[in-house]
Amino acid sequence: MKSLWALPTQALSSLLDFREREIVLGDLAELGMSDRRAFKGVLGLVLRRQLGRWKDWQPWFVLVAIVVPIGPLLATQSMGLNIFPGLVMWLHYGVSYRTGVSSAADLAEICFRASALITWSWSSAFALGALSRKTIWVNGILFLLLCAIFAVYSSGYPVQALWLIWWAWGPIASNFLVVLLPAYWGLRKSAKSSPTKPRWLPALAGWTVIIGSLAIWTRGWYDAALANWSHGAPALTLLQLAQRVDVWKAFVAHLFALAVLTGPVVYLLAMNQFSHRRRKICGA
């Protein structure tokens, strides 16, 4: 029977390049080292290799420009999708939570926001891998962890509530579906795709901007309804709404979020266009 260390050693060695993995595992088999020493050796090699990859600027750029700002932002943006409290209220008490916008507008807002979150998560994770392929899994795991941790802490429920109220899992479940799963999918796609420019990148960038704008626009309906509700009758005109400081602040915050979340794919596209043009000039 293999010892407790054999399996983690095999798993850890998969982080090495294929050629090096074969050579190292061959050496370990030939040397007949104890499994514990073999594990320590492979761990040391993997750590040295991973640390060596952080000598370039790209992994740091990805960490600072994508992982740290976008992970938490996606998590907080996904909180708006939590439909469970309203659903529970309706199921238990027959009372529907009125946001002040029509059901059709509510549904449109949810659909656009969910689509935008899926697109932002996928495209950010893809850009993360494309901009720093060597550290894709370290940065990728950090990205997913930040998304998950911020989802738990910005859900509005105390962590203890997760064991007491089933609908407290709502924000986390929606975050898992529209952020974590697409982000993981984007990472996998990025790891497998060739380093050359994907043809569909301009279409993806265009789609990200359009769906993001639609999500922000429909979110404005809810903000306007809320402002109207707090104002009381008569309803505010569009011009009066635009003059309200809180509405303006919300609008600017949404616009800023849109810029940050769309940034990675637009930057990736710009970089690809730049290198494509440079290759063309060098070729000519």
Single-letter residue type at 8: P
Peptide bond into 234 cis (omega under 30): yes
Contact assessment for residue 54 and residue 132, using Cβ atoms and an 8 Å cutoff: no
# of chain residues touching other proteins (CB under 8 A): 24
Closest CB to other proteins among residues 42, 67: 42
Closest CB to other proteins among residues 26, 156: 26
Residues numbered 24-83 forming contacts with other proteins, rule: CB under 8 A: 24-31, 38, 40-49, 52
Pick the binder of other proteins from 7, 8, 22, 137 (CB under 8 A).
22
- Cβ 3 to other proteins, closest distance in Å? 17
Residues 6+ apart with CB under 8 A from 130: 190, 193, 195, 268
- Cβ 55 to other proteins, closest distance in Å? 12
Closest CB to other proteins among residues 38, 178: 38
CA distances from 46 to 12, 39, 42, 43, 248 (A): 7, 10, 6, 5, 50
Sign of the alpha-carbon dihedral angle for 166, 172, 175, 180: negative
Closest CB to other proteins among residues 138, 227: 138
Cα–Cα distance measured from residue 80 to residue 77, given in angstroms and rounded to the nearest whole number:
6
Residues 6+ apart with CB under 8 A from 64: none
- Cβ 150 to other proteins, closest distance in Å? 34
Contact assessment for residue 63 and residue 139, using Cβ atoms and an 8 Å cutoff: yes
Residues numbered 1-20 forming contacts with other proteins, rule: CB under 8 A: 19-20
Closest CB to other proteins among residues 29, 252: 29
- Cβ 15 to other proteins, closest distance in Å? 12
- Cβ 269 to other proteins, closest distance in Å? 35
Single-letter residue type at 203: A
- Cβ 20 to other proteins, closest distance in Å? 7
User: Which residues in this chain contact other proteins in the complex, by CB under 8 A?
Assistant: 19-20, 22-31, 38, 40-49, 52
